[in-house]
Amino acid sequence: MQGVIKSYDPGSGDGVVICDTNLNDYDLAANALQGSIFRMLRQGQRVVFSLDSDGRATALSLGSEVDMGTPDHH
């Protein structure tokens, strides 16, 4: 799934991502940035994400606007 960061609080790690396809808001899971390249998120940033079993956004990676030429190597 791909979406855009709606809000992010670096202090608490709380954030919300809006999904491109259904325009739903998804809260970020507590470990959403764990193992990702992100240390920080900014409003409006494009991300690709998965949903965990509780329906929260997790496993964030870069959205396609940034660099479509190189595949992700995690």
Q: What is the value of pTM for the model shown?
A: 0.79
What is the average pLDDT across 54-68? Answer: 78
What is the pLDDT, as a whole number, of residue 37? Answer: 77
pLDDT-based confidence at residue 69 (cuts at 50, 70, 90): very low
The ranges assigned to domains in the chain are 2-62
Given a cut of 50, is residue 46 above it in pLDDT?
yes
User: What class does CATH assign to 2-62?
Assistant: mainly beta
What is the pLDDT, as a whole number, of residue 65? Answer: 56
Rounded CA gap, 4 and 42, in Å?
A: 9
The burial class, CB within 10 Å (0-12 / 13-18 / 19+), for 64 is: exposed
